[in-house]
Amino acid sequence: MSLFWRIFVLDALGLVVAAALLLGPVTVSTPILPAEVLVVLAGLAALLAVNAVVLRVGLAPLGRLGRAMADADLLRPGARAVVAGPVETAELITTYNAMLDRLEAERAASAAGALSAQERERHRVARELHDEVGQTLTAVLLQLKRVADRAPEDLREELGLAQESTRSGLDEIRRIARRLRPGVLDELGLVSALRSLAAEFTTHGLTVRHDLRAGLPALTEETELVLYRVAQEALTNTARHSGADRAELRLRPVGDGVELLVRDNGTGLGARAGEGAGIRGMRERALLIGAVLTVSSGAGGSGSGADVRLLTRAAAVATARAATTGVPASPGGLR
């Protein structure tokens, strides 16, 4: 029944009963007698109480809808308000849910467009760095070597230094190009790319261990790139924010998919830390391939590090199934 009819019928019922009582057994004298005051007040209280209950029950779904709207987050799609309550409210909730469907689809499409444009641009910059600047520097290096071979003794040392600087510039450019475009991903595959990522982030203060299991299912190029970029951002955050001295990069098969985990032993996320462009970017990328990303502080509470976990769609399905049946999605849990 619609909210209008609920309230109208209830009020009409109350008024009809009151009128019937007044026309029938109940009399109101002038001036009113104490016993009559009691009857009128009791009738009024009953009417108000029933009215309050009907309104409370009728409006509750609107309150729930308000909370669902406040909590809505397009980066965590799929959450929908429960359709309940009187007809108008149910219609409103259904419309709102349909609007969310549309917004999520549009958001996914525009994020996919933006991210692939970004990848293309990175690819282009990496290629130009490698092919243009890299070639020029290589030529300079060769020239320097030729000159050094023929130069008088007293100039050789300085020319050697110039060669050294050019060489390290060349290395730097190769490193930047590699970071922009994980060429190893195309050449050697995901596991090697992740292994070299772990090596790249291992410095004096931070040791990155990797545990990259064999027997991974075949992954699409897009999925591999998402896994690589998420690992890259998570390790960047570990190096930049966590103060950790140890981190782990794990990749293992789960169901028909894979699970990527980057865990450090640093300060953890802390309550005040909001999600910046980095974590939002990871969420966008995860959404692209329908994967589930969780970013959390380690199991031991604050100070026990941060976990970034990505389950590809098939792995998330397997994990959800395991949670309901009690059978682990893959042998040997992480903890």
Ligand X SMILES: Nc1ncnc2c1ncn2[C@@H]1O[C@H](COP(=O)(O)OP(=O)(O)O)[C@@H](O)[C@H]1O
| Closer of 137 and 269 to ligand X (Cβ) | 269
**Shortest approach of Mg ion to residue 277 CB, angstroms?**
7
Q: Which is nearer to ligand X, 173 or 310 (CB)?
A: 310
Residue 70 or 277 with smaller CB distance to ligand X:
277
> Closest distance between ligand X and the C-beta of residue 210, in Å?
17
Mark the segment that binds Mg ion (CB under 5 A) among 77-85, 135-143, 237-245, 251-259: 237-245
Among the listed residues 235, 239, 246, the one whose alpha carbon sits nearest the alpha carbon of residue 195: 235
What's the chain's Rg over C-alpha atoms? 33
For ligand X, the closer of residues 242 and 330 by Cβ is: 242
Strand partners, 260: 251, 310
In angstroms, what is the minimal distance from the CB of 108 to Mg ion? 22
Is residue 309 within 8 A of residue 293, CB to CB? The reply is: yes
User: 112 or 273, CB closer to ligand X?
Assistant: 273
Beta strand pairing status for 257-264 and 292-297?
unpaired
Min dist. Cβ of residue 74 to ligand X (A) = 16
What residue ranges in the chain does DSSP mark as E strands? 207-212, 246-254, 257-264, 292-297, 306-311
Task: Count CB-CB contacts under 10 A for residue 209.
Answer: 12
Which lies closer to ligand X via its Cβ, residue 84 or residue 334?
A: 334
Which residues, at least 6 apart from 235, have a Cβ–Cβ distance to it below 8 Å? 197, 198, 201, 208, 247, 249, 262
- 3-class state of residue 245 by DSSP: coil
Q: How far is the CB of 239 from Mg ion (least distance, A)?
A: 10
Cα–Cα distance for residue pair 90/101, rounded to 1 Å: 17
- Measured from the CB of residue 191, what is the shortest distance to ligand X in angstroms? 23
The residues binding ligand X (CB under 6 A) are 237-238, 240-242, 264, 266-269, 273, 275-279, 306
State which of residues 237, 238, 242, 330 lies at the interface with Mg ion (CB under 5 A). Answer: 237
Q: What is d(CA 157, CA 227) in angstroms, rounded to the nearest whole number? A: 46
Question: Which residues in 240-299 contact Mg ion (CB under 5 A)?
Answer: 278
State the residues that interact with Mg ion by CB under 5 A. Answer: 237, 278
